[in-house]
Amino acid sequence: MKTKVTTLEAAEFMLNSGQFHTASSLGKALRLPAYKASGLLYNIRHANKYQIIETAKPNRQVKVIDIEGLAKRNNLWALALGHCNAAIQMRG
């Protein structure tokens, strides 16, 4: 990935990965120093547009589960286009 990564780009990466990330793991994945990844995680944790799950300190881990309703919109599109898995997830 490029060296200048925005908070939104980092959050999209995390959402698509579906995994929990620490500053270290996010930094490795995005090829950034851990201190920059830590700043991105801070921004993601404190911005209202991101829905996250986070663990407690020490070694806090963060998982992005939605960005401004993006996940729900994608599921609705999949449902409208007839993709079964999305329909099952929406009902569940």
For range 20-42, the mean pLDDT: 96
Q: Which pLDDT belongs to residue 68?
A: 87
For range 69-78, the mean pLDDT: 61
Q: Which pLDDT belongs to residue 3?
A: 66
Please determine, for residue 91, whether its predicted confidence score (pLDDT) is greater than 80: no
- Total residues belonging to the chain: 92
Q: Which pLDDT belongs to residue 44?
A: 97
Residue pair 66/47 in contact (Cβ under 8 Å)? The answer is: no
Q: Per-residue pLDDT tens for 42-55?
A: 999 999 999 999 99
Q: What is the DSSP letter of 50?
A: E
The residue behind tokens 């994945």 is 29
Q: How far is CA 48 from CA 30, 51, 69, in A?
A: 23, 7, 11
- CA–chain centroid gap for 58, Å, is 20
Mean pLDDT, the chain, integer: 83
pLDDT band at residue 59 under the 50/70/90 scheme: confident
Strand (E) positions, the chain? Answer: 50-54, 62-67
Residue pair 34/19 in contact (Cβ under 8 Å)? The answer is: no
Q: Which pLDDT belongs to residue 38?
A: 95
